[in-house]
Amino acid sequence: MPATTCFSPEIETMERSDLDSLIDERVRYTVQYAAEHSPFYRRWFKENRIQPGEIRVHEDLLSLPLISGKTIREHQPPVTKNFEFLSTDWSNIFSIQETSGTSGTPKGFFLTWDDWKRYAEKYARSFVSQGFTQKDRIVVCASYGMNVGANTMTIAAQRIGMGIIPIGKCSFDSRILKNYRPTSIVGSVFKLIHLGRRLRAEGVKPAEIAIDKLVAGGESFAEESRKYLADQWGCPVYNTYGSTEGTMCGECTELAGLHVPEDIVHLDVYDPRMQGFVRDGDCGRGILTTLLPPGGKSGMLLLNYDTEDTTLVISRGRCRCGRTHMRIHTPQREAETAWIFGNALGRVDVEAGVFQPENMEYITGEYEAFIYDGESPDEVVFHISVECMDPDRCDRKLVENQLIGRFLKYKPGLASQYHDGKLKISINFTGPGGLELHNQKGRPKRLIDRRKRA
Ligand SMILES: [Zn+2]
Protein backbone atom coordinates (compact mmCIF):
# COMPACT_ATOMS: atom_id res chain seq x y z
CA MET A 1 0.00 0.00 0.00
CA PRO A 2 1.50 3.36 -0.96
CA ALA A 3 2.05 6.03 1.66
CA THR A 4 -1.14 8.00 1.76
CA THR A 5 -1.92 11.40 3.06
CA CYS A 6 -5.52 11.43 4.16
CA PHE A 7 -7.52 14.01 6.06
CA SER A 8 -9.07 11.21 8.18
CA PRO A 9 -6.68 8.31 7.52
CA GLU A 10 -8.25 5.78 9.85
CA ILE A 11 -11.67 6.03 8.27
CA GLU A 12 -10.57 6.66 4.67
CA THR A 13 -8.37 3.55 4.52
CA MET A 14 -10.57 1.28 6.64
CA GLU A 15 -10.84 -2.35 5.51
CA ARG A 16 -14.03 -3.04 3.59
CA SER A 17 -15.56 -5.37 6.20
CA ASP A 18 -15.01 -2.83 8.99
CA LEU A 19 -16.30 -0.02 6.78
CA ASP A 20 -19.45 -2.00 5.95
CA SER A 21 -20.12 -2.64 9.65
CA LEU A 22 -19.69 1.04 10.40
CA ILE A 23 -22.08 1.93 7.55
CA ASP A 24 -24.68 -0.56 8.83
CA GLU A 25 -24.49 0.85 12.36
CA ARG A 26 -25.06 4.34 10.93
CA VAL A 27 -27.93 3.14 8.72
CA ARG A 28 -29.72 1.80 11.82
CA TYR A 29 -29.16 4.99 13.81
CA THR A 30 -30.08 7.32 10.93
CA VAL A 31 -33.33 5.48 10.09
CA GLN A 32 -34.33 5.54 13.75
CA TYR A 33 -33.41 9.23 14.02
CA ALA A 34 -35.49 10.05 10.93
CA ALA A 35 -38.51 8.19 12.25
CA GLU A 36 -38.28 9.91 15.62
CA HIS A 37 -37.51 13.45 14.51
CA SER A 38 -39.10 14.18 11.13
CA PRO A 39 -42.89 14.32 10.62
CA PHE A 40 -42.39 13.30 7.01
CA TYR A 41 -40.50 10.08 7.77
CA ARG A 42 -42.75 9.15 10.66
CA ARG A 43 -45.69 9.05 8.26
CA TRP A 44 -43.65 7.61 5.41
CA PHE A 45 -42.68 4.53 7.42
CA LYS A 46 -46.25 4.09 8.59
CA GLU A 47 -47.77 4.47 5.12
CA ASN A 48 -45.28 2.02 3.66
CA ARG A 49 -45.83 -0.42 6.55
CA ILE A 50 -42.18 -0.45 7.50
CA GLN A 51 -40.94 -0.75 11.05
CA PRO A 52 -37.80 1.43 11.22
CA GLY A 53 -36.22 -1.28 13.38
CA GLU A 54 -36.42 -3.70 10.43
CA ILE A 55 -33.82 -1.69 8.54
CA ARG A 56 -30.67 -3.34 9.91
CA VAL A 57 -28.06 -3.21 7.13
CA HIS A 58 -27.50 -0.98 4.10
CA GLU A 59 -28.98 -3.63 1.75
CA ASP A 60 -32.29 -3.18 3.60
CA LEU A 61 -32.48 0.37 2.22
CA LEU A 62 -33.14 -1.16 -1.20
CA SER A 63 -36.59 -2.26 -0.01
CA LEU A 64 -37.62 1.32 0.87
CA PRO A 65 -39.37 3.55 -1.67
CA LEU A 66 -37.47 6.39 -3.33
CA ILE A 67 -37.75 10.05 -2.37
CA SER A 68 -37.33 12.75 -4.99
CA GLY A 69 -36.98 16.51 -5.16
CA LYS A 70 -40.71 16.53 -5.87
CA THR A 71 -41.34 14.71 -2.55
CA ILE A 72 -39.46 17.44 -0.69
CA ARG A 73 -41.37 20.22 -2.50
CA GLU A 74 -44.67 18.50 -1.66
CA HIS A 75 -43.80 18.53 2.03
CA GLN A 76 -42.77 22.13 2.47
CA PRO A 77 -44.65 25.45 2.29
CA PRO A 78 -46.71 26.47 0.45
CA VAL A 79 -47.96 22.88 -0.07
CA THR A 80 -47.83 21.96 3.63
CA LYS A 81 -47.96 24.28 6.60
CA ASN A 82 -44.59 23.18 7.99
CA PHE A 83 -41.30 21.90 6.62
CA GLU A 84 -42.01 18.23 7.21
CA PHE A 85 -38.49 17.04 6.45
CA LEU A 86 -37.10 19.26 9.21
CA SER A 87 -35.68 16.86 11.77
CA THR A 88 -34.67 18.99 14.72
CA ASP A 89 -35.96 21.99 16.62
CA TRP A 90 -35.59 25.34 14.82
CA SER A 91 -33.37 26.52 17.67
CA ASN A 92 -30.74 23.94 16.64
CA ILE A 93 -30.60 25.14 13.01
CA PHE A 94 -27.38 26.98 12.19
CA SER A 95 -28.23 27.85 8.59
CA ILE A 96 -31.01 27.55 6.06
CA GLN A 97 -29.97 26.77 2.49
CA GLU A 98 -31.83 26.28 -0.76
CA THR A 99 -31.20 24.38 -3.96
CA SER A 100 -30.87 26.61 -7.01
CA GLY A 101 -34.42 25.99 -8.15
CA THR A 102 -33.49 25.40 -11.80
CA SER A 103 -35.99 22.53 -11.80
CA GLY A 104 -38.85 24.10 -9.84
CA THR A 105 -39.46 25.81 -6.48
CA PRO A 106 -36.24 25.87 -4.44
CA LYS A 107 -36.06 23.12 -1.84
CA GLY A 108 -35.40 24.32 1.70
CA PHE A 109 -32.49 22.65 3.49
CA PHE A 110 -31.79 22.96 7.19
CA LEU A 111 -28.31 22.46 8.57
CA THR A 112 -27.13 22.21 12.14
CA TRP A 113 -23.51 23.06 12.86
CA ASP A 114 -22.91 19.29 13.08
CA ASP A 115 -24.23 18.96 9.53
CA TRP A 116 -21.82 21.68 8.40
CA LYS A 117 -18.93 19.87 10.04
CA ARG A 118 -19.83 16.69 8.16
CA TYR A 119 -20.18 18.62 4.87
CA ALA A 120 -16.79 20.24 5.47
CA GLU A 121 -15.24 16.87 6.34
CA LYS A 122 -16.23 15.57 2.88
CA TYR A 123 -14.63 18.53 1.09
CA ALA A 124 -11.56 18.45 3.32
CA ARG A 125 -10.98 14.77 2.45
CA SER A 126 -11.40 15.55 -1.22
CA PHE A 127 -8.99 18.51 -1.14
CA VAL A 128 -6.34 16.51 0.74
CA SER A 129 -6.76 13.60 -1.71
CA GLN A 130 -5.94 16.12 -4.46
CA GLY A 131 -2.70 17.11 -2.76
CA PHE A 132 -3.85 20.26 -0.92
CA THR A 133 -1.98 21.17 2.27
CA GLN A 134 -1.75 24.21 4.51
CA LYS A 135 0.73 25.67 2.00
CA ASP A 136 -2.06 26.05 -0.56
CA ARG A 137 -4.14 29.12 -1.27
CA ILE A 138 -7.29 28.59 -3.27
CA VAL A 139 -9.52 30.97 -5.22
CA VAL A 140 -13.15 29.92 -4.80
CA CYS A 141 -15.11 30.85 -7.93
CA ALA A 142 -18.23 28.94 -6.87
CA SER A 143 -20.83 31.43 -5.67
CA TYR A 144 -21.43 32.13 -2.00
CA GLY A 145 -25.16 31.99 -1.50
CA MET A 146 -28.08 29.76 -0.67
CA ASN A 147 -26.32 26.64 -1.99
CA VAL A 148 -23.73 25.04 0.25
CA GLY A 149 -20.77 24.68 -2.15
CA ALA A 150 -18.57 27.74 -1.63
CA ASN A 151 -19.23 27.96 2.12
CA THR A 152 -18.44 24.28 2.60
CA MET A 153 -15.15 24.67 0.74
CA THR A 154 -14.29 27.62 2.95
CA ILE A 155 -14.91 25.70 6.17
CA ALA A 156 -12.98 22.73 4.74
CA ALA A 157 -10.05 25.02 3.91
CA GLN A 158 -9.98 26.19 7.52
CA ARG A 159 -9.87 22.57 8.71
CA ILE A 160 -6.88 21.87 6.45
CA GLY A 161 -5.24 25.17 7.32
CA MET A 162 -5.09 26.45 3.76
CA GLY A 163 -5.79 29.98 2.61
CA ILE A 164 -8.93 31.03 0.85
CA ILE A 165 -9.66 33.82 -1.64
CA PRO A 166 -13.48 34.01 -1.61
CA ILE A 167 -14.17 35.77 -4.91
CA GLY A 168 -17.33 33.79 -5.69
CA LYS A 169 -17.02 34.19 -9.46
CA CYS A 170 -14.48 33.50 -12.21
CA SER A 171 -14.48 36.95 -13.77
CA PHE A 172 -11.72 38.36 -11.59
CA ASP A 173 -8.76 40.54 -12.41
CA SER A 174 -5.46 38.78 -13.17
CA ARG A 175 -3.77 40.85 -10.44
CA ILE A 176 -5.41 38.43 -7.95
CA LEU A 177 -3.28 35.65 -9.42
CA LYS A 178 -0.14 37.79 -9.73
CA ASN A 179 -0.28 39.55 -6.36
CA TYR A 180 -1.64 36.92 -3.99
CA ARG A 181 -0.18 33.93 -5.87
CA PRO A 182 -2.93 31.40 -5.16
CA THR A 183 -1.94 27.80 -5.95
CA SER A 184 -5.34 26.65 -7.11
CA ILE A 185 -8.75 27.73 -8.40
CA VAL A 186 -12.04 25.92 -8.02
CA GLY A 187 -14.61 26.66 -10.70
CA SER A 188 -16.50 25.12 -13.61
CA VAL A 189 -14.54 23.83 -16.60
CA PHE A 190 -15.91 26.45 -18.98
CA LYS A 191 -15.28 29.34 -16.61
CA LEU A 192 -11.71 28.13 -16.10
CA ILE A 193 -11.18 27.81 -19.86
CA HIS A 194 -12.44 31.39 -20.32
CA LEU A 195 -10.17 32.60 -17.56
CA GLY A 196 -7.15 30.85 -19.09
CA ARG A 197 -7.89 32.40 -22.47
CA ARG A 198 -8.30 35.85 -20.95
CA LEU A 199 -4.98 35.58 -19.12
CA ARG A 200 -3.27 34.63 -22.37
CA ALA A 201 -4.90 37.59 -24.15
CA GLU A 202 -3.66 39.88 -21.36
CA GLY A 203 -0.15 38.51 -21.84
CA VAL A 204 0.10 36.93 -18.38
CA LYS A 205 2.94 34.40 -18.41
CA PRO A 206 2.74 31.06 -16.54
CA ALA A 207 5.80 32.06 -14.47
CA GLU A 208 3.93 35.09 -13.12
CA ILE A 209 1.34 32.92 -11.42
CA ALA A 210 1.58 29.94 -9.06
CA ILE A 211 -1.40 27.76 -10.00
CA ASP A 212 -0.36 24.08 -9.82
CA LYS A 213 -3.75 22.31 -9.77
CA LEU A 214 -7.34 23.14 -10.67
CA VAL A 215 -10.53 21.78 -9.15
CA ALA A 216 -13.48 21.55 -11.51
CA GLY A 217 -17.02 21.19 -10.28
CA GLY A 218 -20.57 22.35 -10.85
CA GLU A 219 -21.22 20.32 -13.97
CA SER A 220 -19.98 17.18 -15.65
CA PHE A 221 -17.52 17.43 -18.52
CA ALA A 222 -15.89 15.33 -21.21
CA GLU A 223 -12.37 13.94 -20.76
CA GLU A 224 -11.49 15.94 -23.88
CA SER A 225 -12.39 19.26 -22.27
CA ARG A 226 -10.52 18.30 -19.10
CA LYS A 227 -7.42 17.57 -21.18
CA TYR A 228 -7.75 20.89 -23.00
CA LEU A 229 -8.03 22.75 -19.69
CA ALA A 230 -5.09 20.85 -18.17
CA ASP A 231 -2.91 21.64 -21.21
CA GLN A 232 -4.01 25.28 -21.19
CA TRP A 233 -2.98 25.75 -17.54
CA GLY A 234 -0.14 23.19 -17.52
CA CYS A 235 -1.42 21.45 -14.37
CA PRO A 236 -3.75 18.62 -13.33
CA VAL A 237 -7.52 19.18 -13.16
CA TYR A 238 -9.48 17.29 -10.48
CA ASN A 239 -13.18 16.65 -10.72
CA THR A 240 -15.58 17.11 -7.83
CA TYR A 241 -19.29 16.52 -7.54
CA GLY A 242 -21.32 18.10 -4.80
CA SER A 243 -24.84 19.17 -4.05
CA THR A 244 -26.80 20.87 -1.30
CA GLU A 245 -28.58 17.54 -0.78
CA GLY A 246 -25.35 16.20 0.62
CA THR A 247 -23.38 14.39 -2.03
CA MET A 248 -19.75 15.37 -2.14
CA CYS A 249 -17.31 13.20 -4.01
CA GLY A 250 -13.93 14.02 -5.44
CA GLU A 251 -11.20 12.52 -7.57
CA CYS A 252 -7.90 11.78 -5.88
CA THR A 253 -4.55 12.33 -7.61
CA GLU A 254 -4.85 8.84 -9.16
CA LEU A 255 -7.77 10.11 -11.30
CA ALA A 256 -9.44 6.71 -10.93
CA GLY A 257 -13.02 7.82 -10.27
CA LEU A 258 -14.63 9.95 -7.59
CA HIS A 259 -14.33 8.68 -4.01
CA VAL A 260 -17.65 8.62 -2.13
CA PRO A 261 -17.23 9.35 1.62
CA GLU A 262 -19.11 6.17 2.49
CA ASP A 263 -19.29 6.73 6.23
CA ILE A 264 -21.17 10.04 5.72
CA VAL A 265 -23.27 9.38 2.63
CA HIS A 266 -24.49 6.06 1.31
CA LEU A 267 -24.92 5.71 -2.45
CA ASP A 268 -26.90 3.13 -4.39
CA VAL A 269 -27.50 3.04 -8.14
CA TYR A 270 -31.04 2.60 -9.47
CA ASP A 271 -32.37 2.00 -12.97
CA PRO A 272 -35.77 3.65 -13.46
CA ARG A 273 -36.50 1.54 -16.56
CA MET A 274 -35.83 -1.71 -14.68
CA GLN A 275 -37.45 -0.29 -11.55
CA GLY A 276 -34.67 -1.81 -9.53
CA PHE A 277 -31.18 -1.28 -8.15
CA VAL A 278 -28.32 -2.32 -10.41
CA ARG A 279 -25.07 -4.18 -9.83
CA ASP A 280 -21.71 -2.45 -9.63
CA GLY A 281 -20.52 -1.45 -13.08
CA ASP A 282 -24.03 -0.89 -14.43
CA CYS A 283 -25.30 2.60 -15.07
CA GLY A 284 -28.27 4.15 -13.28
CA ARG A 285 -29.36 7.03 -11.11
CA GLY A 286 -27.42 7.84 -7.96
CA ILE A 287 -29.62 7.32 -4.89
CA LEU A 288 -28.23 8.80 -1.70
CA THR A 289 -28.87 8.29 1.99
CA THR A 290 -27.49 10.59 4.66
CA LEU A 291 -25.55 8.71 7.36
CA LEU A 292 -25.31 10.02 10.90
CA PRO A 293 -22.91 8.67 13.50
CA PRO A 294 -24.72 7.29 16.59
CA GLY A 295 -25.66 10.22 18.77
CA GLY A 296 -25.43 12.67 15.84
CA LYS A 297 -28.10 15.28 15.10
CA SER A 298 -29.21 16.62 11.76
CA GLY A 299 -31.47 19.40 10.50
CA MET A 300 -32.68 17.42 7.51
CA LEU A 301 -31.87 13.97 6.25
CA LEU A 302 -32.51 12.08 3.09
CA LEU A 303 -33.18 8.35 2.80
CA ASN A 304 -33.11 6.81 -0.68
CA TYR A 305 -33.06 10.22 -2.35
CA ASP A 306 -33.05 10.20 -6.14
CA THR A 307 -30.36 12.66 -7.30
CA GLU A 308 -31.55 12.38 -10.93
CA ASP A 309 -27.88 12.17 -11.86
CA THR A 310 -26.64 9.07 -13.63
CA THR A 311 -23.48 7.28 -12.54
CA LEU A 312 -21.99 3.83 -12.00
CA VAL A 313 -19.83 2.22 -9.33
CA ILE A 314 -16.30 1.70 -10.65
CA SER A 315 -14.89 -0.18 -7.65
CA ARG A 316 -15.27 -0.84 -3.94
CA GLY A 317 -11.71 -2.10 -3.79
CA ARG A 318 -8.69 -0.21 -2.50
CA CYS A 319 -7.59 2.63 -4.79
CA ARG A 320 -3.91 3.09 -5.69
CA CYS A 321 -4.04 6.11 -3.36
CA GLY A 322 -4.71 3.73 -0.44
CA ARG A 323 -8.30 4.84 0.17
CA THR A 324 -10.92 2.11 0.40
CA HIS A 325 -14.01 4.23 -0.11
CA MET A 326 -15.81 3.35 -3.32
CA ARG A 327 -15.19 5.15 -6.56
CA ILE A 328 -17.89 6.19 -9.00
CA HIS A 329 -17.99 7.48 -12.54
CA THR A 330 -18.60 11.23 -12.94
CA PRO A 331 -22.33 11.75 -12.36
CA GLN A 332 -24.18 13.37 -15.23
CA ARG A 333 -27.48 15.15 -15.00
CA GLU A 334 -30.25 13.03 -16.42
CA ALA A 335 -31.95 16.26 -17.56
CA GLU A 336 -28.99 16.64 -19.95
CA THR A 337 -29.70 13.34 -21.65
CA ALA A 338 -31.98 12.96 -24.67
CA TRP A 339 -33.12 9.78 -26.37
CA ILE A 340 -32.85 9.42 -30.15
CA PHE A 341 -33.98 6.18 -31.80
CA GLY A 342 -33.67 4.44 -28.41
CA ASN A 343 -30.11 5.66 -27.86
CA ALA A 344 -29.15 7.76 -24.85
CA LEU A 345 -27.41 10.92 -25.94
CA GLY A 346 -25.71 13.02 -23.26
CA ARG A 347 -24.50 16.59 -23.39
CA VAL A 348 -21.02 15.29 -22.62
CA ASP A 349 -21.13 13.09 -25.78
CA VAL A 350 -21.45 16.27 -27.84
CA GLU A 351 -18.78 18.01 -25.80
CA ALA A 352 -16.30 15.19 -26.47
CA GLY A 353 -16.73 15.82 -30.22
CA VAL A 354 -16.39 19.58 -29.88
CA PHE A 355 -13.14 19.36 -27.87
CA GLN A 356 -11.21 17.25 -30.37
CA PRO A 357 -7.66 18.68 -30.19
CA GLU A 358 -7.55 19.59 -33.90
CA ASN A 359 -10.71 21.69 -33.49
CA MET A 360 -9.33 23.83 -30.72
CA GLU A 361 -7.17 25.82 -33.09
CA TYR A 362 -10.36 27.30 -34.55
CA ILE A 363 -13.15 27.11 -31.98
CA THR A 364 -13.51 28.31 -28.39
CA GLY A 365 -15.09 25.13 -26.99
CA GLU A 366 -18.44 26.86 -26.40
CA TYR A 367 -21.26 24.89 -27.98
CA GLU A 368 -24.98 24.21 -27.86
CA ALA A 369 -27.04 21.45 -29.44
CA PHE A 370 -30.70 21.18 -30.40
CA ILE A 371 -32.78 18.21 -31.44
CA TYR A 372 -35.63 18.85 -33.89
CA ASP A 373 -38.21 16.77 -35.71
CA GLY A 374 -37.21 16.00 -39.29
CA GLU A 375 -39.36 16.47 -42.38
CA SER A 376 -40.70 12.92 -42.32
CA PRO A 377 -42.01 11.23 -39.15
CA ASP A 378 -39.03 8.87 -38.84
CA GLU A 379 -36.43 11.61 -39.25
CA VAL A 380 -34.55 13.48 -36.52
CA VAL A 381 -32.40 16.56 -37.01
CA PHE A 382 -29.49 17.21 -34.67
CA HIS A 383 -28.22 20.74 -34.84
CA ILE A 384 -24.91 21.60 -33.15
CA SER A 385 -23.63 25.18 -32.97
CA VAL A 386 -20.02 25.95 -32.15
CA GLU A 387 -18.37 29.28 -31.47
CA CYS A 388 -15.37 30.14 -33.65
CA MET A 389 -12.57 32.40 -32.54
CA ASP A 390 -12.76 33.92 -36.05
CA PRO A 391 -15.52 32.56 -38.33
CA ASP A 392 -13.61 33.71 -41.44
CA ARG A 393 -10.53 31.74 -40.53
CA CYS A 394 -12.18 28.53 -39.32
CA ASP A 395 -11.51 25.24 -41.13
CA ARG A 396 -15.17 24.26 -41.05
CA LYS A 397 -14.75 20.99 -42.91
CA LEU A 398 -12.12 19.83 -40.44
CA VAL A 399 -14.18 20.80 -37.37
CA GLU A 400 -17.27 19.13 -38.82
CA ASN A 401 -15.43 15.89 -39.60
CA GLN A 402 -13.74 15.76 -36.21
CA LEU A 403 -16.90 16.54 -34.28
CA ILE A 404 -19.26 14.18 -36.09
CA GLY A 405 -16.58 11.47 -36.31
CA ARG A 406 -15.95 11.44 -32.54
CA PHE A 407 -19.63 11.72 -31.77
CA LEU A 408 -20.69 8.72 -33.87
CA LYS A 409 -17.65 6.60 -32.94
CA TYR A 410 -19.08 5.82 -29.49
CA LYS A 411 -22.72 5.82 -30.59
CA PRO A 412 -23.00 2.88 -33.00
CA GLY A 413 -26.81 2.93 -32.76
CA LEU A 414 -26.89 6.52 -33.93
CA ALA A 415 -24.15 5.96 -36.53
CA SER A 416 -26.34 3.47 -38.40
CA GLN A 417 -29.30 5.90 -38.34
CA TYR A 418 -26.97 8.63 -39.60
CA HIS A 419 -25.72 6.49 -42.49
CA ASP A 420 -29.33 5.52 -43.32
CA GLY A 421 -30.16 9.21 -43.53
CA LYS A 422 -32.68 9.16 -40.68
CA LEU A 423 -30.47 11.16 -38.36
CA LYS A 424 -29.35 14.40 -39.95
CA ILE A 425 -26.53 16.28 -38.23
CA SER A 426 -25.82 19.88 -39.10
CA ILE A 427 -23.06 22.03 -37.69
CA ASN A 428 -23.52 25.77 -37.41
CA PHE A 429 -20.58 28.13 -36.93
CA THR A 430 -20.93 31.41 -35.06
CA GLY A 431 -18.57 34.18 -34.06
CA PRO A 432 -17.75 35.06 -30.45
CA GLY A 433 -20.95 35.65 -28.44
CA GLY A 434 -23.15 34.27 -31.22
CA LEU A 435 -24.65 31.29 -29.40
CA GLU A 436 -28.17 31.38 -27.93
CA LEU A 437 -26.85 30.36 -24.51
CA HIS A 438 -24.99 33.65 -24.16
CA ASN A 439 -28.40 35.28 -23.64
CA GLN A 440 -29.43 32.84 -20.90
CA LYS A 441 -29.17 33.49 -17.21
CA GLY A 442 -27.64 30.92 -14.86
CA ARG A 443 -26.12 27.61 -15.88
CA PRO A 444 -26.31 27.35 -19.67
CA LYS A 445 -28.40 24.59 -21.20
CA ARG A 446 -26.30 23.03 -23.91
CA LEU A 447 -28.48 20.15 -25.06
CA ILE A 448 -32.09 21.05 -25.77
CA ASP A 449 -34.71 18.69 -27.16
CA ARG A 450 -37.14 20.73 -29.28
CA ARG A 451 -39.01 17.81 -30.83
CA LYS A 452 -42.79 18.07 -30.83
CA ARG A 453 -43.25 14.43 -31.85
CA ALA A 454 -42.59 12.19 -28.86
ZN1 LIG B 1 -7.95 7.22 -4.76
Is 336-449 in the same CATH topology as 1-330? no
**How many A from CA of 63 to the centre of ligand 1?**
31
Predicted confidence at residue 45, as pLDDT, reads 96
**Alpha carbon of 15 to ligand 1 centroid (Å):** 14
Ligand 1 centroid from CA 446, angstroms: 31
What pLDDT does 203 receive?
93
User: Which pLDDT does position 101 carry in this prediction?
Assistant: 63
Instruction: Return the domain boundaries, the chain.
Output: 1-330, 336-449
What is residue 4's predicted lDDT score, i.e. its pLDDT? 61
pLDDT at position 274:
78
Longest dimension (CA), the chain: 69
235 Cα to the center of ligand 1, angstroms: 18
Q: How far is the CA of 23 from the centre of ligand 1 (A)?
A: 19
CA 40–ligand 1 middle distance (angstroms): 37
CATH topology for 336-449? GMP Synthetase; Chain A, domain 3 (3.30.300)
| Average pLDDT per 10 consecutive residues for the chain, totaling 454 residues | 77 97 98 97 96 95 93 95 96 92 82 96 97 97 90 96 95 94 96 93 90 93 95 96 88 97 96 87 94 96 94 96 96 88 90 95 95 93 95 95 94 93 95 89 84 80
Give distance in angstroms: CA of 13 to centre of ligand 1. 10
Q: What is the model's pLDDT at position 104?
A: 74
The CA 324 to ligand 1 mean position distance, Å, reads 8
Ligand 1 centroid distance, CA of 120 (Å) = 19
Q: How far is the CA of 284 from the centre of ligand 1 (A)?
A: 22
Between the CA of 402 and the centroid of ligand 1 the distance, in Å, is 33
Rg (CA), the chain: 23
Could you tell me the distance, in angstroms and rounded to a whole number, from the CA of residue 59 to the centre of ligand 1?
25
Superfamily the domain 1-330 falls into? ANL, N-terminal domain (3.40.50.12780)
Cα–ligand 1 centroid distance for 4 (angstroms): 9
